[in-house]
Amino acid sequence: MIDLRPGKTDDPNFVELVSQLLTNLVQLNQPAEVYVVTIDHWFDHKWQHFSGKVIGAVGVWKTRLTVPPFDPGRVVSEAHFHLDPATDGYREEIRKPLHLDQWSVHNLQRFIADISGSGVFVWYSSNTEKGDRASLMVYIVNPEGLFSWYASLVQRDGWKLNKVKGISRAQFEAVIRRR
Domain range summary for the chain, segments of one domain joined by +: 12-177
Predicted confidence (pLDDT) per residue in 109-126, tens digit: 788 899 999 999 999 999
Predicted confidence (pLDDT) per residue in 23-80, tens digit: 999 999 999 999 999 999 999 988 786 666 665 555 655 667 888 888 899 999 999 9
Return the pLDDT at 56. 59
Question: What's the pTM value of the predicted model, to 2 decimals?
Answer: 0.91
Long-range contacts made by residues 137-141, C-beta under 8 angstroms, separation at least 24?
137/43, 137/47, 137/48, 137/68, 138/21, 138/25, 139/65, 139/112, 140/25, 140/29, 140/31, 141/31, 141/112, 141/113, 141/116, 141/117
Q: Residue range 3-22: average pLDDT? A: 94
